Structure 1
Amino acid sequence: MNTRSRYASRRTYLVPADLSELAGPFTGVVRLPVRLDWSEQRVYDLSDDSHVGLMYERVIREASHLDDLRAYLNRETLIRLWPHLYLPAQARKTWETRFRDLARAA
């Protein structure tokens, strides 16, 4: 097992109390702050599902405050894209344990 996968399996991932808290944008263009995305991209066109998926993966993996999840994730979009998101196993398990809608969507 490499160091990165050991870290991902031990890391704590934030999860909101309810998916209805996720009221982030579902149209337009979003620029993530460096604390969530330190890549050169950081700007996501929400009309492109590949952009949205990448943005959601980064926010779920890197959020250090619940407000990050609330500000950048949208409930309906998350449920729609959930089966296609590439997430650490522990993050996916944490979210699916809390939200059966996501487990069913997977």
Structure 2
Amino acid sequence: MASQSSPTAAPSPSDVLRRRYADRLPACLDDLTGPTHGRIELPLHVAWSGLRTYNLDQPRQRMSYYRTVLAEGQRDDLTSLLDQRLLVSPWPVLHTLVSRHIREAWEAAFPTLTSGTSAAA
């Protein structure tokens, strides 16, 4: 007779990723007090491959910067490198550039992101 899976089965890879990103989130969006313009060089532990310096005054570079920080940053990186307004305002586009796990973690924690309105306004 084949054995049934145990009730304490290991979490799925999706659950692990979602939890990993959720554990990095700031307590609130107001904690995001990062730079809003100019050239910014990301630390090596965040941008370990490819482009490390971004001009936040250039919309494409700013989106790439946010995508990188959201994917690779730890909690302290998120709060010091991201700005609430620059995250919330372009979220309708930005959320399409990040993984589903990142998007789900942020939107579950901060429903304002899915409302289509800026929390900073």
What's the TM-score once normalised by structure 1's chain length? Answer: 0.85
Percent identical: 32
The 5 A counterparts of 1:66-77 are 66-77=75-86
Shift of 1:51: 0.6
Which of 1 and 2 has greater Rg?
Answer: 2
Secondary structure of the equivalent of 1:105?
A: coil
Give the total of aligned pairs: 99
AA aligned opposite 2:73: A
Greater RCO, 1 or 2 (C-alpha within 8 Å, sep 6+) = 1
* Unpaired stretches in structure 1, ≥5 consecutive residues: 1-5
The 5 A counterparts of 1:1-106 are 9=14, 10-11=16-17, 12-13=20-21, 14-64=24-74, 66-85=75-94, 86-105=97-116
Shift of 1:30: 0.4
Shift of 1:21: 0.2
Q: Structure 1 segments of 4 or more deviating over 4 A?
A: none
Q: How many angstroms apart in 2 are the aligned matches of 1:67 and 1:35? A: 12
Higher percent of residues as helix? 1
Q: How many angstroms apart in 1 are the aligned matches of 2:116 and 2:54? A: 24
* Unpaired stretches in structure 2, ≥5 consecutive residues: 1-11
